[in-house]
Chains A and B, each alone.
Chain A
């Protein structure tokens, strides 16, 4: 059991899992995701399509083996961190002493010799210098004077914090995927719609499309009110792209927009039905069973293209054109582009399109674990910073029998670079000392 657990928590397993994750991600990005089975049958050979469907490669990121992979990776991260925590904690609390340093690295770690170790420690950025007397590791001497210092102790936690962060990110994302709720509500100002299967309704109070001089869109802004139908309590807010509103703990995003029109149906000149229809929607003519109208597209500045197809010359409402299709019992009766003030006449019914306006689509979402993923991401960043830029380093100087000091140093990452830096600092100090001595000598001569 212990052996199995050790294998599950090992670095080797982690690397294998990461390798599989890479392969899964490549497959998920190269193979179109979420299509119907028939689509894969037509797009790939029979064998390839069969393999894609059997392995769940048509929806890689939600298929059971991918979820199992993520769970396994979480277990590996968790186990790895649990195993390492006591070791790191012990090292952090008790590991940084001259005795331990000498025991672990007493031999063969000499960096340089120097005459003024305290100045060298200060020059190398070591502040809290610890002076003591130790027994040298080689046992040749007893009660050897020693100066020891450590810096960036927190750096040893870097990888651990990073792994913890990754674990939290995956957990936050996974839980969010399982428990998040998401709805879409669309409509024009004045309309109130039910928010999915919740007890809330959403009223679109206002919707504005802010245009620049060149007709491109600067911003879409919707003023919205959400009502709790159980208590009658309301909350209002404004949502625009990049600035979602939060109402009753749900985030409301200004997702997209399109055109809607007021459809009026007359029978013998009497208004019998009036509805706001968004482009792409279909409505039944209630009085005429089997008759339905589809509002297929809208052209705010209608014109015919060179190929004879309808198109819009600009985004401005200069010459509105409505592309409609009319059906009777599922059979298309006809389609055409209807201009403002024109009407469709079917038997006793007259249908007109009027009052074109922009509708807004508000995406409403509640993900109770976004904050968790956010904390995880912050921990990953902090961990990486600790690991790469707060490198733990130790410096220890021992005085020899002749009074000279032998300096030893250790840095877990970039040890040679660290040793080089210590030597450079020593040279700088010596050069400084020499020039200072010369200046003093010259000043003495002048006197």
Chain B
């Protein structure tokens, strides 16, 4: 098969995955509205299936492009959505509560819809992007952003759960606040570790490509801002016992910074990361 045929297949798989995430999002919403388990069960199955198709789409693009799909807005956005879904499925498997999907799938859908709006053209990489450090840098960013996405969704659940204390459905399907708080913390810890690696690997790559490991480029500066926001969150939590609502609000703010670092900086503050 030619690379063009692989890319055509990727296009179809991507569309199916996006439709799958949309369907899962709707079913999760129905699960919350009508409070029937059957919607939640099907939503979970469809999310897993969409994730499998999405994985296949990324594999076919890798084959079609002859490299990992991590080098432009479309590729990073689709990988970012994949990363959030992967983290969601891991947390779902570990902590086993279905309602999490109702908050994560909209984030996945928004990110993959953003990807769909970008150019899917496969371009050869400019010499600076031909580095193994790029693969490490962007792959770790996908995991990091995915984990922060999950912490954002869990924190939203935390904030909403407090207002739904009278609902038996919420009591049954959403873990108690203490547990939500812990899950959010676990997700932030994972995201923070990987975000640190994103910055370190990016610095090593920049040093080799441009001779400067840190140059206060807007993307670098905003990833530092995000890193500091989460560092403050962790310090307040570990040392000052800052938990509950305040921590949840902080995790939401952190994810807004993540989104600004990823999308906002490209739109409003272009620098040497403009291709990202």
Contact = CB atoms under 8 A, between A and B. Distances in A.
Nearest to B127: A241
Given A29-B221, A377-B200, A365 B211 contact: yes
Contact of A22 (B186, B200, B203, B229): B229
Contact of B240 (A11, A159, A385, A413): A11
A25 B225 contact: yes
B195 to A, nearest CB: 10
Given A21-B228, A388-B193, A242 B127 contact: yes
A5 B204 CA distance: 36
B224 interface: yes
A374 B213 CA distance: 10
Given A14-B235, A212-B124, A416 B208 contact: no
B45 interface: no
Interface string A277-307: 0000000000000000000000000000000
A402 B138 CA distance: 59
A241 B128 contact: yes
A242 B196 contact: no
B189 A388 contact: yes
A381 B213 contact: no
A218 interface: yes
B224 to A, nearest CB: 6
A368 to B, nearest CB: 14
A384 B216 contact: no
Given A217-B127, A385-B193, A414 B182 contact: yes
Interface residues of B, number: 45
A30 B124 CA distance: 32
Interface string A140-176: 0000000000000000000100000000000001000
Contact of A219 (B127, B192, B208, B213): B127
Contacts of B265: 29
Given A25-B225, A29-B221, A370-B207, A216 B124 contact: yes
Contacts of A159: 238
B182 A416 contact: yes
B228 A243 contact: no
Contacts of B123: 216
Contacts of B210: 253, 255
Contacts of A197: none
Interface string A14-56: 1100110110011011100100000000000000000000000
A251 interface: yes
Interface of B: 123-124, 126-128, 130-131, 178, 182, 186, 189-190, 192-193, 196-197, 200, 203-205, 207-214, 216, 218, 221-222, 224-225, 228-229, 231-232, 235-236, 238-240, 265, 269
Interface of A: 11, 14-15, 18-19, 21-22, 25-26, 28-30, 33, 61, 159, 173, 182, 212, 214, 216-220, 240-244, 251, 253, 255, 363, 365, 370, 373-374, 377-378, 380-381, 384-385, 388-389, 413-414, 416-417
